[in-house]
């Protein structure tokens, strides 16, 4: 298996690769990380930074998106419920149905900030914000 580096993703993709992304059910977490997130208008919202897995169910709970900042300064992190992300081959990234203004009001945390991933109240707020059922249901 070829290792995928972030730079791979910047190379032009041929039709085979596109078709592969479209039809393949399985994707490596590494490949998800570094993928751009856009809204339906095609505006860049951020980049997938990491994937949070629920050990108990084996489900992906969140895709954490980094947003804004420069060289790691001022960057904010959004824990996006996995279910709000749709992969769009034409846009070559994940698409969420959210404008930039709405995203600014979404729950975020900053680099170095301690997040209690097991705080159900916090998790509920996030899922409420994005209007999807929580991963633990």
18 contributes a contact to its own copies by CB under 8 A: no
Interaction with its own copies in 99-118: which residues (CB under 8 A)? 109, 111-115, 117-118
132 contributes a contact to its own copies by CB under 8 A: no
Closest approach of its own copies to the CB of residue 17, in Å: 13
83 contributes a contact to its own copies by CB under 8 A: yes
19 contributes a contact to its own copies by CB under 8 A: no
How many residues are recorded in the chain? 137
33 contributes a contact to its own copies by CB under 8 A: yes
CA gap 62, 64 in Å, rounded: 6
DSSP structure string for 69-114: -BTTBS-EEEEEEGGG-EEETTTTEEEES--HHHHHTS--EETT--
Burial track 62-90 (b if 16+ CB lie within 10 A, e otherwise):
bbbbbbeeeeeeebbbbbbbbbbbeeeee
91 contributes a contact to its own copies by CB under 8 A: no
64 contributes a contact to its own copies by CB under 8 A: yes
Please give the residue ranges that form the binding site for its own copies (CB under 8 A).
1-2, 23-30, 32-33, 50-62, 64, 77, 82-83, 87, 109, 111-115, 117-118, 136
């Amino acid at each position: 298996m070829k290792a995928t580096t972030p730079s791979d993703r910047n190379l032009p993709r041929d039709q085979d690769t596109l078709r592969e992304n479209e039809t393949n059910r399985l994707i490596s977490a590494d490949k998800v990380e570094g993928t751009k997130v856009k809204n339906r208008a095609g505006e860049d919202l951020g980049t997938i930074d990491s994937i949070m897995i629920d050990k108990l169910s084996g489900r992906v709970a969140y895709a954490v998106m980094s947003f804004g900042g420069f060289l790691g300064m001022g960057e904010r992190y959004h824990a996006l419920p996995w279910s709000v992300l749709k992969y769009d081959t034409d846009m070559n990234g994940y698409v969420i149905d959210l404008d930039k203004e709405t995203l600014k009001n979404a729950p975020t945390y900053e680099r170095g900030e301690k997040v209690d991933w097991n705080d159900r109240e916090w998790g509920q707020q996030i899922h409420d914000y994005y209007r999807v059922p929580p991963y633990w249901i």
